């Protein structure tokens, strides 16, 4: 029944305790709404037919409502709506009241990326790793305009406001990867301010966390979690595409030739890049790798020095896959192969 | 008398085919020789007119222009969203499009349209008055509207703003786009709204004809009264908040900047303090139109007059205390969320009362199936579905998932388009003969109405589902799984567009070529039909006196008593 209703209403999977809790009310409310709209529509249509005009200038009399009908007309909607509210508000209190012991993660929103910071632990951009079965609390603030963290699979959302710390707690129930969206309009790339929540088995999470604390990035963001079904990368180009999507490279770089926060990757390989300090250099494998590991060494003219370093976050094979992926992005007017170094 | 000014003398074939009902009006009507439209034909006679009916026509032209523009922006948005890839414009272009769509539709069509057009035209007629209380002020409020629209047009020509119609700070402070002229436009237009509201309140208090007690007041007048009170009390807050936003943008001095001790959430409180009651500014007049139409075509007096009138006042009052339901996840307190949530339920109850009364009016009526009633039928379905999804999003916990997703977009379009626009179209068809003395082609009216209702469903039902899936609103690009429903929505919008173009086309043609309507083609017992159609320059030849409520169909219609 649950899955039937969920699919009927196009709801995503239920991956948190709150999602399981709130969806039941959802089904009841939407079900009643549909029935009421159909009921009123049907009554209207039935009356249209039953009481259609029969003779020219037909007269009609005022119909007065008996008291019981008036009481029913007021009482039924009032009771139904208040009942929904009572259940809904108690669920909301659950949603706004985190348990005493939680795993705290700091969240900072900025145009247009998410930064997740673990106390005494690692930072991550775009990917939020959380343990399953343990309550997690996000402590959130914004560096510029208002953003909002929305995780559809958890049915949770909270605005991220400059000058305030807001909190959002959840307890994930299913291991897996779930999209995270920004739902407060924040300017040009609002729709690309996406992230991902990776729910790991608790033991796995602890291992990952310890490794991160020790400065040994044991599991990278692109690495599948236990229990996740993955298709093995067919080749380096596809692996590179996957890695760049996971790491959020596309938040700043495009692959269609349009400049964004960073230079486009289309035809980047082999192109002569001009830098802020007036020097220039042909973009080869070495340059591309340097740009990932030490982005402020050469900042392309016309762009801000804002890219974070991926040293320690990208493993060797992943960096290589990224380079191969960038090399594969050629348009019709790309410089010929001979122009490449 | 030109030949085109006489009727054809025969029953229109489509009438009997579509309805099986006898014709309500005798054929062979003669167009009145003197009426408000030919009381002066030079451009000057329109631009300096103080006749409430001519001002209504000025509003008709200007708000329909706004509707057309807003519709174009909407279509551009839908075309962009047929796929996640760039189709028509870039990201900033898209952000400007949805902002302009919202601003133009809300401030230049939804808010002024029904009060400006039908309120101005019908209110004095319904009261048995010669004009509104302050005719010159009435003209001024139209000019103020035009000045506000001109500011906004200027902003559009400069590329427009990209903040959304909500102008949330701090984004509206730092955006490089042209928010200032748009905010000024809204600020100025607000005065038009205030002046119209003031005028209507005084008119209803002072200009009711002999015997027209408050409990005999047509329900459309009640709706305008409730609306006017909201306009008068809430609009100043909008003026304040857009001015604050404009100052923040012009001087880079954001009053809501936390670095200066401000609070961006305060902006939202102030903004919604106006903008939620503004929803009732948009929807109460629509409720009034439906109350009139359902009586005229159900040919029966409203079921529970007092309940409808009181529910109108109730919505106007409670509407002031529910704004926080826009901010359940904005970091307002849990207590606030509960308080705003439970108060919102009362709006739902008042609306439900009205729905029961409209449906109850049809019970034991003598229903005449005409285009306005088709729109009322659509309206009833949309207002129940849109209204109850409103109650659903006010059910605090459910809103956490739905807030700022397409579910909310679909919900408020069900109310704005499904309720307000349906009622607007019902009123436009019902009162078209009153305003211009001619009827529209009934068959085409039905076809266009069916197209619009169908297209509307096809546009917005997929958006409810998109919201459930988790697609946030104001997204230029989206994940692949959202594609199918977006394509469906754009397809629906196309149907909607054709429906509207059809209505525009046959109404324009009917202005000259429509069949002469006669004083009261519907046999309606609304008070506005007590005079000829189109009405005289000063409405009535003799002062109407009122011995009973409007739409009392227990006695036969006596036509054109005072025209």
Q: Look up the ipTM and state it.
A: 0.88
Interface contact flag, B377 A48, Cβ < 8 Å: yes
- Find, in chain A, the residue whose alpha carbon is nearest to that of B402: A155
pLDDT at B257: 87
Is B331 part of the contact surface with chain A (CB cutoff 8 Å)?
yes
Q: Which H/E stretch holds residue B147?
A: helix B135-157
Helices and strands, number each (H, E), in chain B: 19, 0
- Tens digits of per-residue pLDDT, B482-508? 999 999 999 999 999 999 999 999 999
> Are B392 and A33 an interchain contact pair (Cβ–Cβ within 8 Å)?
yes
Contact B522, B432 (CB under 8 A): no
Rounded CA separation B453/A100 (Å)? 52
Give the whole-angstrom CA distance, residue A197 versus residue A187: 23
* Sequence-separated contacts (24+) of A71-79 with Cβ below 8 Å: A73/B307, A73/B352, A73/B353, A73/B356, A74/B349, A74/B353, A77/B348, A77/B349, A77/B352, A77/B353, A78/B345, A78/B349
* Mean pLDDT score of chain B: 91
Structure confidence at residue B8 (pLDDT): 40
pLDDT in tens, A175-203: 999 999 999 999 999 999 999 999 999 99
CA atoms within 13 A on the CB side of B367: 25
pLDDT given at position A1: 83
Contact assignment for A152 to B362 by CB distance below 8 Å: no
Comparing alpha-carbon positions, the chain B residue that sits nearest to A89 is: B396
Helix axes B442-469, B406-413, angle to 10 degrees: 160
Residue B254 has pLDDT above 90, yes or no: no
Contact A149, A140 (CB under 8 A): yes
A37 touches chain B (CB under 8 A): yes
A positions 126-165 inside 8 Å of B (CB): 144-146, 148, 150, 152-153, 155-159, 161-164
* H or E element in which residue B67 lies: helix B52-80
Cβ of residue B385 closer than 8 Å to a chain A Cβ: yes
- Closest-approach residue (CA) in chain A for B92: A188
pLDDT of B3 above 80: no
Query: Looking at residue A182, what DSSP letter applies?
Result: E
Alpha-carbon distances, residue B310 vs B315, B327, B419, B494 (angstroms): 9, 28, 20, 39
Helix (H, G, I), strand (E, B) or coil at A174: coil
Q: Give B-chain residues touching A166 at CB under 8 angstroms.
A: 331
pLDDT computed for residue B159 by the predictor: 81
Q: Which two tokens stand for residue B259?
A: 């670095």
Contact of B469 with A12, CB cutoff 8 Å: yes
The closest alpha carbon to B164, from B409, B346, B453, belongs to: B409
As a whole number, mean pLDDT of residues B294-310 equals 94
Burial of B258 (0-12, 13-18, 19+ CB in 10 A): middle
Mean pLDDT of chain A: 86
Relative to beta strand A147-151, strand A176-182 is: antiparallel
| pLDDT for residue B14 is more than 50 | no
Q: How far apart are CA A40 and CA A312, in angstroms?
A: 62
Residue B134: CB atoms within 10 A of its CB come to 16
Q: What is the pLDDT of residue B15?
A: 42
- Secondary structure element (H or E) that encloses residue A159, with its range: strand A156-160
Inter-chain CB proximity A184 and B389 less than 8 Å: no
The minimum CA-CA distance between B194 and chain A, rounded to whole Å, is 30
Residues A136-150, mean pLDDT to the nearest whole number = 94
Strands A135-142 and A103-110: parallel
- Interface mutation vs chain B, best among A36, A77, A250, most B CBs within 10 Å: A77
CA atoms within 13 A on the CB side of B114: 32
Q: What is the separation of C-alpha B280 from the centre of its chain, rounded to a whole number of angstroms?
A: 10
CA B234, B239, B244, B249 torsion: positive or negative? positive
Q: How far apart are alpha carbons A217 and A226 in whole angstroms?
A: 17
Torsion of CA B241, B245, B251, B256, to 10 degrees: 90
Identify the pLDDT of residue B1. 35
- What is the share, in percent, of chain A residues with pLDDT greater than 70? 91
- Tens-place pLDDT, residues B147-198: 999 999 888 888 889 999 999 989 998 888 889 999 999 999 999 999 999 9
Confidence of residue A125 (pLDDT cuts 50, 70, 90): confident
What is the DSSP pairing of strand A195-200 with strand A176-182?
A: antiparallel
Residues of chain A neighbouring B298 (CB-CB closer than 8 A): 51
**Rg, C-alpha atoms of chain A:** 28
Check pLDDT > 90 for residue A305: no
Global pTM?
A: 0.84
Q: How many helices (H) and strands (E) does chain A have?
A: 7, 12
pLDDT surpassing 50 at residue A80: yes
Q: Would an 8 Å CB–CB cutoff place A264 in contact with chain B? A: no
Q: Is B360 on the interface with A (CB under 8 A)?
A: yes
Coil, strand or helix: which one is A62? coil
pLDDT digits (tens, 9 = 90+) for A44-58: 889 999 999 998 888
CA gap B305, B293 in Å, rounded: 14
Mutation target to probe the B interface, by most B beta carbons within 10 A, among A63, A142, A149 is: A63
User: Which of A14-28, A220-234, A316-330 has the weakest average pLDDT?
Assistant: A220-234
Q: By CA distance, what is B94's nearest residue in A?
A: A188
DSSP for B182-235 reads HHHHHHHHHHHHHHHHHHHHHHHHH-PPTT--GGGS-HHHHHHHHHHHHHHHHH
| Residue B427: burial class (beta carbons within 10 Å; 0-12, 13-18, 19+) | buried
Which is more confident, B467 or A227?
Answer: B467
Chain A residues with CB under 8 Å of B364 CB are 51, 60-61, 63
Per-residue confidence at A340, pLDDT binned at 50, 70, 90? very low
Q: Identify which of B301, B352, B380 has the shortest CB distance to residue A41.
A: B380
Question: What contacts 24+ positions apart, CB below 8 Å, involve A7-13?
Answer: A9/B465, A9/B468, A10/B465, A10/B466, A10/B468, A10/B469, A10/B485, A11/B468, A11/B469, A12/A152, A12/A153, A12/A178, A12/B469, A12/B470, A13/A153, A13/A174, A13/A176, A13/A178
Query: Cα separation of A242 and B548, whole Å?
Result: 75
């Amino acid at each position: 029944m649950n899955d039937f209703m969920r699919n009927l209403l196009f709801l995503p999977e239920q991956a948190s305790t709150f999602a399981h809790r709130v969806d039941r009310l959802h089904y009841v409310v939407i079900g009643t709404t549909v029935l009421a709209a159909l009921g009123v529509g049907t009554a209207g249509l039935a009356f249209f037919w039953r009481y259609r005009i029969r003779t020219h200038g037909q007269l009609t009399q005022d119909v007065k409502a008996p008291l019981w009908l008036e009481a029913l007309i007021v009482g039924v909607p009032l009771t139904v709506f208040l009942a929904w509210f009572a259940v809904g508000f108690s669920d909301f209190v659950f949603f706004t009241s985190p348990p005493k012991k939680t795993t705290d993660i700091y969240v900072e929103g900025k145009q247009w990326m998410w930064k997740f910071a673990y106390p005494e632990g690692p930072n991550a951009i775009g990917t939020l790793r959380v343990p399953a079965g343990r309550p997690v609390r996000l402590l959130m603030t914004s560096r510029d305009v208002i953003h909002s963290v929305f995780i559809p699979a958890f049915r949770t959302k909270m605005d991220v406001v400059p000058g305030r710390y807001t909190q959002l707690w959840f307890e994930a129930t299913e291991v897996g990867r779930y999209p995270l969206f920004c739902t407060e309009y924040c300017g040009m790339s609002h729709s690309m301010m996406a992230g991902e929540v990776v729910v790991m088995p608790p033991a796995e999470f602890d291992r990952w966390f310890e490794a991160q604390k020790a400065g040994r990035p044991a599991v990278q963001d692109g690495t599948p979690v236990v229990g996740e079904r993955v298709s093995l990368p067919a080749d380096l180009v596809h692996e590179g595409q996957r890695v760049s999507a996971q790491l959020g490279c596309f938040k700043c770089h495009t692959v269609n030739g349009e400049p964004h926060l960073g230079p486009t990757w289309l035809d980047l390989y082999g192109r002569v890049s001009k830098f802020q300090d007036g020097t220039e250099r042909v973009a080869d494998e070495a340059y591309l790798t340097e740009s990932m590991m030490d982005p402020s060494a050469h900042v392309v003219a016309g762009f801000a020095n804002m890219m974070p370093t991926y040293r320690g976050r990208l493993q060797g094979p992943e960096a290589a896959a990224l380079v191969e992926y960038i090399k594969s992005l050629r348009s019709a007017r790309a410089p010929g192969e001979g122009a490449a170094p | 008398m030109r030949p085109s000014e006489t009727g054809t003398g025969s029953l229109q074939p489509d009438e009997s085919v579509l309805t099986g009902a006898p014709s309500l009006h005798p054929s062979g009507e003669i167009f009145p020789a003197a009426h408000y439209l030919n009381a002066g034909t030079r451009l000057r006679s329109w631009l300096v007119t103080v006749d409430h009916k001519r001002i209504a026509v000025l509003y008709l032209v200007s708000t329909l222009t706004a509707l057309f523009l807003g519709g174009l922006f909407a279509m551009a948005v839908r075309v962009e969203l047929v796929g996640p890839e760039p189709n028509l414009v870039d990201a900033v272009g898209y952000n400007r499009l949805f902002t302009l769509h919202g601003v133009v539709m809300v401030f230049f069509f939804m808010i002024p349209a029904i009060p400006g057009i039908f309120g101005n035209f019908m209110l004095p007629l319904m009261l048995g008055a010669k004009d509104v209380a302050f005719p010159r002020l009435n003209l001024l409020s139209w000019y103020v509207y035009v000045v506000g629209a001109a500011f906004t047009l200027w902003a559009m020509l400069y590329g427009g703003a990209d903040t959304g119609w909500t102008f949330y700070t701090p984004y509206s402070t730092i955006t490089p786009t042209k928010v200032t002229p748009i905010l000024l436009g809204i600020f100025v237009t607000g005065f038009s709204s205030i002046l119209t509201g003031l005028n209507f309140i005084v008119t209803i208090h002072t200009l009711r004809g002999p015997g027209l007690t408050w409990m005999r007041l047509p329900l459309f007048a009640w709706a305008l009264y409730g609306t006017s009170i909201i306009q008068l009390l809430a609009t100043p807050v909008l003026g304040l908040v857009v001015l604050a936003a404009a100052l923040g943008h012009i001087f880079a001095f954001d009053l809501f900047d936390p670095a200066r001790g401000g609070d961006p959430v305060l902006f939202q409180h102030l903004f919604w303090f106006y903008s939620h009651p503004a929803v009732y500014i948009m929807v109460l007049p629509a409720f009034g139109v439906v109350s009139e139409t359902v009586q005229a075509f159900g040919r029966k007096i409203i079921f529970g007059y007092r309940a409808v009138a009181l529910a109108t006042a109730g919505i106007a009052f409670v509407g002031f205390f529910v704004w926080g339901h826009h901010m359940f996840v904005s970091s307002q307190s849990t207590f606030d969320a509960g308080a705003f949530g439970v108060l919102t339920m009362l709006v739902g109850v008042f609306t439900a009362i009205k729905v029961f009364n409209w449906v109850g009016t049809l019970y034991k009526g003598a229903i005449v199936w005409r285009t306005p009633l088709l729109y009322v039928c659509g309206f009833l379905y949309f207002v129940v579905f849109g209204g109850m999804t409103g109650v659903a999003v006010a059910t605090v916990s459910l809103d956490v998932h739905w807030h700022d997703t397409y579910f909310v977009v679909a919900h408020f379009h069900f109310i704005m388009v499904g309720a307000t626009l349906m009622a607007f179209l019902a009123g436009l068809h019902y009162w078209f003969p009153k305003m211009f003395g001619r009827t529209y082609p009934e068959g085409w009216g039905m076809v266009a109405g069916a197209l619009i209702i169908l297209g509307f469903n096809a546009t917005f039902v997929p958006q409810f589902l998109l919201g459930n899936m988790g697609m946030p609103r104001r997204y230029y690009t989206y994940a692949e799984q959202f594609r199918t429903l977006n394509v469906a929505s754009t397809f629906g919008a196309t149907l909607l567009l054709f429906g509207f173009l059809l209505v525009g086309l046959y109404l324009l043609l009917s202005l000259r070529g429509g069949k002469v309507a006669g004083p009261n083609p519907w046999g309606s017992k609304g008070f506005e039909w007590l005079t000829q159609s189109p009405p005289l320059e000063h409405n009535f030849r003799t002062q109407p006196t009122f011995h009973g409520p409007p739409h009392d169909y227990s006695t036969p219609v006596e036509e054109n008593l005072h025209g």
